[in-house]
Amino acid sequence: MQQFRPDKKQPVKKAPVAPASKPAAPGQSGYAAQKAALTPEGDSYDAQKAALSPDVGSVGGVKMDAMPGGPTNEPSRKKRKKKKRKSRARRRRAAARRRAQQAAAKKKRQQQLQPTTTDTTTDTTTDTTTVTPAPQPVVEPTPAPQPVVEPTPTVEPTPEPEPVVEPTPEPEPEPVVPLDPMLDPSVNPDPTNEYAPEADYEEFSGTIAVQGEGDAHAIDANDVKQGSIGNCYFVAQLAAMAMHKPDLIQDLIKDNGNGTYSVTLYLKDKVHTWKRSKTEVVVSSEFPTKGGGRAAYAKPGDKGSDGPELWVMLIEKAFAKYTGNYEETRGKKTKDGDVFAMMSGKSSGYKRLSSMSGDVLLRVLTTAVTNGQPVSFGAHGKSALDEEGQKGAKEAGVVLNHAYAMRGVDAKARTISLYNPWGVKHLDDIDVDVIKTYYSNIKIGA
């Protein structure tokens, strides 16, 4: 047994009483914190050892040198045992208090984290593992947001119909696509040109064709009367076609019964210009006028019970609609001078009169008439003739730089008759040599 030596400085031991509710160190968590807080032996093993060992100079924080009778005193042994019992009882009570406090703290914590949880009697060991859900407190106020959530479903029905509506307009544009301007009768070509800058559209109530006095057919060459634009090549070929193939023209035009007409032409492909496509062009019965209800361009034909005949005006307008305006139907600007092919779909033959004799010309023309082929003539331009030549053309009644339709040939008499698309100033029984002098070319339809 060791003796107490007062000269030796003894370390002062802390009382073994552990704090009732020792908080876990800030960096301590989980099991380590729990162990540190809940171990029944106290704060540490060393502290426990110091508190219970009889060799240690103090018991329960009381210095031994303060005990009467010294360490070997019998009554003091009983006192020590009694103290030990009291000390154990205190520790047990302290541990019970700590457990109770731990349980209360855990219950409180669980109430904060999961108020709906009924497992409040969970063991402390499991309690340490349930500390993890830190973000949940943010979720707890959710009972309050519920009224906020409620209006949301009322908003949701609004976007729901939208996707239903959106697909509906998508298929709608498809039927709009086929609305080709060529088929839209409300689309009119520009009615103006340099000589009719004020031209505007007016309604003409009429019919496709009327068989007037002296007409062989309802579609007749004398229905052709050129207007205020230089498209003589166009109307001359219409007149020639009307002489030989009136039924073909009749079949090109259909009355739609609603004030519109469908005109079917073999129009040049705008990219591959050597190709022609059978194209329907729908036009209204509005035509350009210069005021006063009189047509600015091709004139109406014979008058019938349903009004004047319109076939020349309809075909001219359909071609103007194809080109975009009347201006580009003039001979100087046209992209398609083969009006025979435009109506029949078959290319015409073009011949220069300078390359053939009068006899050959008469033979070619006779053959064309026999075959029912339309023929048009083109007069010389002024530059092809000198002043005397121009004067001679005028005296012969020829309009230079103008187109005509052939309306007859007499091989025996060696004469040719031409129809002027003006509707007046025709040339009848002109000698073939005069023709060869003032005309440069012929066009023969298929």
Residues in the site for other proteins, rule: CB under 8 A?
194-195, 225-230, 232, 290-292, 294-296, 332, 381-384, 387, 390-391, 393-394, 399-402, 422-425
d(CA 122, CA 34) in angstroms, rounded, equals 14
- Please state the closest distance from residue 242 (CB atom) to other proteins, in A: 17
Contacts of 53 (CB under 8 A, 6+ apart): none
CB-wise, 235 or 365, nearer to other proteins? 235
Q: How far is the CB of 204 from other proteins (least distance, A)?
A: 14
Least distance from C-beta 439 to other proteins, angstroms?
A: 14
Q: Cβ of residue 432: shortest distance to other proteins, in angstroms?
A: 22
Among residues 229, 418, 226, 187, the alpha carbon closest in space to that of 321 is found at: 187
Q: For residues 327 and 338, which CB has a smaller minimum distance to other proteins in the complex?
A: 327
* Shortest Å distance, C-beta 164 to other proteins: 60
- Nearest-approach distance from CB 377 to other proteins, in angstroms: 14
Structure tokens of 187?
């689309």
CA distances from 392 to 145, 164, 232, 398 (A): 105, 80, 22, 9
CB 437 within 8 A of CB 430: no
Q: How many helices (H) and strands (E) does the chain have?
A: 16, 15
Q: Considering the complex, what minimum distance in angstroms separates the CB of residue 253 from other proteins?
A: 23
Q: Which is nearer to other proteins, 261 or 439 (CB)?
A: 439
Q: CA–CA distance from 205 to each of 112, 119, 256, 309, 357 (Å)?
A: 92, 96, 13, 9, 48
**Looking at beta carbons only, is 182 or 385 nearer to other proteins?**
385
User: Can you tell me the distance from the alpha carbon of 285 to that of 207, in angstroms, rounded to the nearest whole number?
Assistant: 9
For residue 281, the cross-strand partners are 263
Between 28 and 441, CB nearer to other proteins: 441
Tell the smallest beta-carbon distance from residue 381 to other proteins (Å). Answer: 3
Q: How far is the CB of 287 from other proteins (least distance, A)?
A: 13
The smaller minimum CB distance to other proteins, of residues 60 and 423, is found at 423
Where are the alpha helices (H) located in 133-231, listed in sequence order? Answer: 136-139, 146-149, 151-155, 161-165, 173-176
Q: Residue 420 corresponds to which tokens in the numbers above?
A: 């002027």
Comparison of 42 and 378: residue with beta carbon closer to other proteins: 378
Q: Which amino acid is at 18?
A: A
C-alpha angle 241/243/246, rounded to 5°?
70
Residue number with CB closer to other proteins (188 or 289)? 289
- For other proteins, the closer of residues 60 and 392 by Cβ is 392
Where does residue 8 rank: exposed (0-12), middle (13-18), buried (19+ CB within 10 A)? exposed
Pairing of strands 427-431, 439-444: unpaired
Closest CA to 313 of 215, 404, 208: 208
